[in-house]
Amino acid sequence: MTQDPYEILGVSRDADADEIKKAYRRLARQLHPDVNPDPETQERFKDVSRAYEVLSDPGKRAAYDRGGDAFSQGFGGAGQGFSFTDIMDAFFGGGGAAAGAGARGPRSRARRGQDALIRLDVTLAEAAFGVTRDLKVDTALRCEACEGEGTAPGTKPVPCETCHGQGEVAVVQRSFLGEIRTLRPCAACRGYGSVIPDPCRECSGDGRVRSRRTLTVKIPAGVDHGTRVQLTGQGEVGPGGGPAGDLYVEIHVEPHKTFTRHGNDLHTTISLPMTAAALGTHLTLPLLEADLEPPKDSDPDSRPVTTYDLDVRPGTQSGSEQVIRGFGVPSLRGGRGDLVVSISVDTPTRLDPRQEELLRELAAIRGEEQPDGQNEAPHKSMFGRLREAFQG
């Protein structure tokens, strides 16, 4: 028995892909086990298939042409022949016989509805501490007239006459193997196995209607710009009375006039007169909580603290920072970030004669009338550190 795939297929060494395919088809038609079940023919069919496997693959064919043994180099070895699908592909040009193989029986009209996404603008305080909002949502709701069934009141779907309620029909292809039956979804009923002769007038048979409804949404404390809050089952209702998809609420945080957020930390800047920075002071710092509307009739003791008594040490430098632990944004996972307060020292710009006299006297006492310009390391202000962080 020859091991030469060209000889097995009966083609010349310079045969092109088309000739090889034609030769294989002709032989397979004669030798296929379904046509010719005797053992000797089956052996020849295997050889033909293996030869075709080598010659139909440009890589394997080239390897054989370079002097390789067609059947012993890991391709086309015993038991590694063509699958039925491969053979069908060779004959019908790819997947023809296998199409629709997954469909079995009528499919349900009910399908899950789509997810929906809406955007919600919130303030920084609402994102930080949570908020409850009423949202108006345009969505698909179950049709009340037909309760999602899609049928006019008092009517029912009737079995499809084309497929006799099966939802699929057999398509017969003739081939050398005899007839090949393939099941395809029924076009008349779109695979449902039934048709609605009298569709519901409210929803045209879809089982749902578009509507605007109001939804009360609780946004948890700690969400950030871009966070998506998932509301299970609040998306569009599915067709045919199917379950609803989910609604995602995407949070957009409006910029705040005095606070910025970095992760769970809040940053703010306060300005201090030069004298206060030099002498030290106490000041009342408004917190982000001050933006919250106090709950009505609540116990004053349980209301959130809205200010912080900040102790400014004598000699506080412009650009210095004070970190107030635990006064940042609550984390979704618990805990809370910090509040970082940057100090900006204001130099007086308009001095009356008396003030100027006092400042000149102070300068004289401090020996600062003719200060030397000194090169210094830059201040480690928030912006300076950010710049460093970005520059790596």
Residues lying near Zn ion in the complex (CB under 5 A): 143, 145-146, 160, 162-163, 186, 188-189, 200, 202-203
The span from the CA of 304 to the CA of 296, in Å, is 13
Contact 251, 225 (CB under 8 A): yes
Choice between 202 and 291, CB closer to Zn ion? 202
Q: Counting Cβ atoms within 10 Å, is residue 376 exposed (0-12), middle (13-18) or buried (19+)?
A: exposed
Taking the complex as a whole, how short is the minimal distance between the CB of residue 151 and Zn ion, in angstroms? Answer: 8
Residue among 160 and 219 whose Cβ is closer to Zn ion: 160
Residue 182, Cβ density class (10 Å: 0-12 exposed, 13-18 middle, ≥19 buried): middle
What is the closest distance, in whole angstroms, from the C-beta atom of residue 237 to Zn ion in the complex? Answer: 11
**Beta bridge mates, 307:** 286
- The nearer residue to Zn ion, 185 or 286, going by C-beta atoms, is 185
Q: How far is the CB of 186 from Zn ion (least distance, A)?
A: 3
User: Minimum Å distance from CB 172 to Zn ion?
Assistant: 17
**Which CB sits closer to Zn ion, 222 or 241?**
241
From residue 24, give the alpha-carbon distance in Å to each of 20, 21, 46, 227. 6, 5, 11, 60
Tokens describing residue 339? 């509040």
278's tokens: 């030099």
Q: Least Å distance between CB 203 and Zn ion?
A: 3
> What DSSP line would sit under 350-381, residue for residue?
---HHHHHHHHHHHHHTT-SSPPP---PPP--
Query: Between 197 and 384, whose beta carbon lies closer to Zn ion?
Result: 197
In the complex, least distance from residue 198 CB atom to Zn ion, rounded to whole angstroms: 11
**166 or 316, CB closer to Zn ion?**
166
Long-range contacts of 66-72 (CB under 8 A, 24+ apart): 69/3, 70/3, 70/4, 70/5, 71/3
Supply the minimum distance, in Å, between the C-beta of residue 162 and Zn ion. 4
Query: 183, 95 in Cβ contact below 8 A?
Result: no
Dihedral angle over CA of 327, 332, 335, 340, nearest 10: -30
- By beta-carbon proximity to Zn ion, the closer residue of 202 and 265 is 202
Contact of 245 with 112, CB cutoff 8 Å: yes
User: Considering only CA atoms, which of 37, 59, 41, 39 is closest in space to residue 49?
Assistant: 41
DSSP states along 40-72: HHHHHHHHHHHHHHHHTSHHHHHHHHTT--TTT
Which CB sits closer to Zn ion, 120 or 141? 141
The minimum distance between CB 247 and Zn ion, in angstroms, equals 22
Q: Which is nearer to Zn ion, 103 or 180 (CB)?
A: 103
Shortest approach of Zn ion to residue 326 CB, angstroms? 55
